[in-house]
Structure 1
Amino acid sequence: MQHPASNKLTVLALLLLGIVVLVCASLGRWQLSRADERRAISAEIERGRLAAPLLMRPDMTIESVQPWRAASASGHWAAQFSVMVDNRNLDGRPGLWLATPLILEDGVAVLVLRGWIPRPIGTEQAPKIATQLSMHTVEGEMSLRVPRLFELWTSKKGEDSGLPSTWKGIAAGESGWVDTSSLVRVQNLDLGSLAERTGLKFLPVVLLQNSPAQEGLSRNWPKPSLDADKNVGYATQWFGFAAIAAIAFCAVLWRFVRRRRRQIE
Structure 2
Amino acid sequence: MDGFPVLRKKTLAAIVLLILLTGICIAAGQWQLGRAHEREAIHAARLAGQQAPPLTLTTDTPAGPEWHRASARGQWLNPFTVLLDNRNLKGQPGLWVATPLALQDDPGAAVLVLRGWVARPMPPAVLPDLRAAEGPVRIQGTLLRQVPRLLDLDQLTGGEGAELPRPFPSLDGVPPRMQNLSLDALAAATGLRLLPVVLEQAPTQDVGLIQEWPGPSDNASQNYNYAGQWFSFAAIALIAAAAILWRSWRKPAAPSESDAP
Give the alignment's TM-score, normalised by structure 1: 0.89
Q: Which amino acid in 2 is paired with 1:38?
A: R
Checking the alignment, whether the CA contact within 8 Å between 1:28 and 1:236 is kept in structure 2 is yes
Partner of 1:111: 112
Counterpart position of 2:233: 241
Report the alpha carbon displacement of residue 20 of structure 1 after superposing the two structures with TM: 0.7
Paired residue for 1:186?
Answer: 178
Whole-angstrom CA distance in 2 between matches of 1:243 and 1:261: 29
1:49 aligned residue:
50
- 1:237 and 1:43 map into 2 onto residues whose CA distance is 26
Provide the identity percentage: 44
Indicate the residue corresponding to 2:33 in structure 1: 32
**Structure 1 SS opposite 2:154:** coil
- Equivalent residue of 2:210, what SS? coil
Asked if the contact 1:127/1:216 (under 8 Å) is kept, the reply is: no
Aligned counterparts, 1:45-194, within 5 A:
45-62=46-63, 65-104=64-103, 105-106=105-106, 107-154=108-155, 160-169=161-170, 182-194=174-186
Distance 2:124 2:246 in 1: 72
Q: Report if the CA contact (8 A) 1:97-1:113 is conserved.
A: yes
Q: Which shows bigger deviation, 92-101 or 116-125?
A: 116-125
Distance 1:201 1:171, change over 3 A: farther
1:177 corresponds in structure 2 to none
**In the alignment, is the contact (CA less than 8 A) between 1:87 and 1:94 conserved in 2?**
yes
- Per-residue Cα deviation, 1:44-79 (whole angstroms, up to 9, x for no partner): 0001111100010122222xx211111000000110
Partner AA of 2:169 in structure 1? K
Unaligned runs of 5+ in 1: 173-181
Count, aligned residues: 251
Distance apart, 1:256 and its partner CA: 1.1
Q: Is the 8 A contact 2:115 2:206 kept in 1?
A: no
The equivalent of 1:8 in structure 2 is 9
1:196 and 2:188 aligned: yes
Tell me the CA shift for residue 19 of structure 1. Answer: 0.5
1:170–1:183 contact (8 Å) kept in structure 2 = no
User: Quick one: structure 1 residues 98 and 135, their matched pair in 2 at CA, closer, same or farther if it must change by over 3 Å?
Assistant: same
Aligned counterpart in structure 1 of residue 213 of structure 2, from 213, 216, 221: 221
Q: TM-score, normalised by structure 2?
A: 0.90
State how far apart, in whole Å, the 1-side matches of 2:161 and 2:88 are: 23
Offset, 1:211: 3.1
Question: Structure 1 residues 132-141 or 207-216, which shifts more?
Answer: 207-216
AA in 2 matched with 1:80: P
Q: 1:153/1:125 Cα in 2 relative to 1: closer, same or farther (>3 Å)? A: closer
Q: Counterpart in 2 of 1:175?
A: none
Instruction: Indicate the larger mover: 249-258 or 127-136.
Output: 127-136
Q: Using a 3 Å threshold, how does the CA distance of structure 1 residues 22 and 209 change in structure 2: closer, same or farther?
A: same
Distance in 2 (CA, whole Å) between partners of 1:210 and 1:8 is 66
Instruction: Give 1:161 deviation, angstroms.
Output: 4.6
| Per-residue deviation, 1:130 | 4.2
Shift of 1:129: 2.3
SS of the residue aligned with 1:153? helix
Query: Per-residue deviation at 1:261?
Result: 5.6
Q: Rg bigger for which structure? A: 2
- Structure with the higher helix share, 1 or 2: 1
